[in-house]
Amino acid sequence: MRAMVLCAGLGTRLRPLTTLWPKPAMPFFGRPLLRYALASLRQLGVTEVGINTHHLPEVMEAVAQSECRRVGLSLTVAHEAGEIQGTGGGIRGLKDFLSGGTSVVLNGDVLFAVDLAPIVEAHEASGADATMVLLPMPEGETYNAVELDEARAVRRIAGKGPGGDRLSGWHFTGVHVLSPRVFDFMAPTGPIDINHDVYVKLIEAGGTVRGHVVAESDVYWSDLGTPQRYAATHRDVLFGQVPLVRFGEASPFSGMLRHGLSDWSHPTARLGDARVAGPAWFGENVSLGKNVRIGSGVSLGNDVKVGDGAHLNRVAVLDGAEIEGGRLYEDVILGPRGVRVALT
């Protein structure tokens, strides 16, 4: 089976972090976010993966090549030069790669701990042209609703589509299962959205887009597209709210040393005399100076250096950052080259 991870987004809501990395290449507990998507696909039995690139394409392709080599996946890359092509245009760019049979498409900026196998099986058994994987609408969020009829067929997306009686609204997770017929409803050129343009056209022509609702108790889903959501997901991982077993060895705790109930460090991390309250996570080659204090909800990515006397609390430090000593850092995301995003 083949799959695609959408990787071309501009990441405007995550700037300035995305001046350094495209979103799917951004570190999350010392691993590119892409690694978690690839782990889910590998468990499904996918052997060939495609991505699209646009923003910082060399960085994105290099990360994808490295991550695919790690797990024995072949990689196909479609670069979108000039104007970004949207989700539908991105998938269209890999038409030749994906159109041989059922394929899976994932958003590259989402952490989704889910078993994809029963979803693909249900799609193939249904005979649908496409399946959108759905969850109940997250409380307090304003995502566009995908509306289903009583037979779980999609009838309206973000207010577009033929509609119907007794529809129920759901949240789209960013996971699609596609049959090749979907490509028949794509404009040959120009930016298009897979949901608002392609699926609506397909439904209005009598095709079937199926909604597969996943029980919240079985999965964890989070969009890391804003600093606040990145930080909330970071906190959920540290406090044990994410079923990381879904990711196998890609789990950020795989290969780590555990200290007490809630602190983890890579064997190469040098913690010195630091006082750690935890939960906290220390990646490869982390180096802490003297008299460093680590509070709650802290992760330090790979190759991070922390100066003497620094105090960190509710902080995510991304790979390669150097943290000046003698200061308090609280409720912030810190990156290399002095990049800093306050969360309050």
Provide the CATH number for the domain around residue 281: 2.160.10
Q: How far apart are CA 90 and CA 272, in angstroms?
A: 47
Which pLDDT does position 207 carry in this prediction? 95
Instruction: Give the CATH number for residue 47.
Output: 3.90.550.10
* Residue 298: C-alpha distances to residues 258, 262, 276, 279, 282 (Å): 15, 11, 10, 7, 9
Which pLDDT does position 141 carry in this prediction? 74
Q: Are residues 318 and 175 in the same domain?
A: no
Secondary structure of residue 122 in the 3-state scheme: helix
Q: Are residues 325 and 262 in the same domain?
A: yes
Instruction: Determine, yes or no, domain membership for 239.
Output: no
Q: Are residues 73 and 190 in the same domain?
A: yes
The helix (run of H) or strand (run of E) holding residue 18 is none
Q: Are residues 281 and 219 in the same domain?
A: no
Close Cβ partners of 138 (under 8 Å, ≥ 6 residues apart): 171
Q: Which residue has the tokens 């995550």?
A: 14
Q: Are residues 270 and 204 in the same domain?
A: no
Instruction: Determine, yes or no, domain membership for 60.
Output: yes
Q: Which residue has the tokens 């620094």?
A: 310
Q: Are residues 100 and 164 in the same domain?
A: yes
pLDDT per residue rounded down to tens, the chain (344 residues): 899 999 999 889 999 999 999 999 999 999 999 999 999 999 999 999 999 999 999 999 999 999 999 999 999 999 999 999 999 999 999 999 999 899 999 999 999 999 999 999 999 999 999 999 999 988 777 788 999 999 999 999 999 999 999 999 999 999 999 999 999 999 999 999 999 999 999 999 999 999 999 986 778 999 998 999 999 999 999 999 999 999 999 999 999 999 988 899 999 999 999 999 999 999 999 999 999 999 999 999 999 999 999 999 999 999 999 999 999 999 999 999 999 999 98
Query: How far, in whole angstroms, is CA 118 from its chain's centroid?
Result: 20
Instruction: Determine, yes or no, domain membership for 248.
Output: no
Residue 317 buriedness (CB in 10 A; 0-12 / 13-18 / 19+):
buried
Instruction: Determine, yes or no, domain membership for 238.
Output: no
Instruction: Determine, yes or no, domain membership for 236.
Output: no
Please tell me whether the peptide bond between 118 and the residue prior to it is cis, using omega within 30 degrees of 0: no
Which pLDDT does position 138 carry in this prediction? 81
Q: Are residues 137 and 173 in the same domain?
A: yes
Number of structural domains (the chain) is 2
Q: Are residues 206 and 267 in the same domain?
A: no
Which pLDDT does position 139 carry in this prediction? 78
Q: Are residues 171 and 57 in the same domain?
A: yes
Instruction: Determine, yes or no, domain membership for 184.
Output: yes
Q: Are residues 284 and 158 in the same domain?
A: no
What letter represents residue 42's amino acid?
R
Instruction: Determine, yes or no, domain membership for 234.
Output: no
Q: Are residues 147 and 294 in the same domain?
A: no
Q: Are residues 9 and 98 in the same domain?
A: yes
Domain that holds residue 320: 255-342
What letter represents residue 294's amino acid?
I
Which pLDDT does position 142 carry in this prediction? 73
Query: Considering 207, 227, 247, which residue would you say is the last residue of a domain?
Result: 227
Instruction: Determine, yes or no, domain membership for 259.
Output: yes
What is the full DSSP assignment across 165-231? SS-EEEEEEEEEEE-GGGGGGS-SSS---IIIIIIHHHHHTT--EEEEEPPGGG-EEEE--SHHHHH
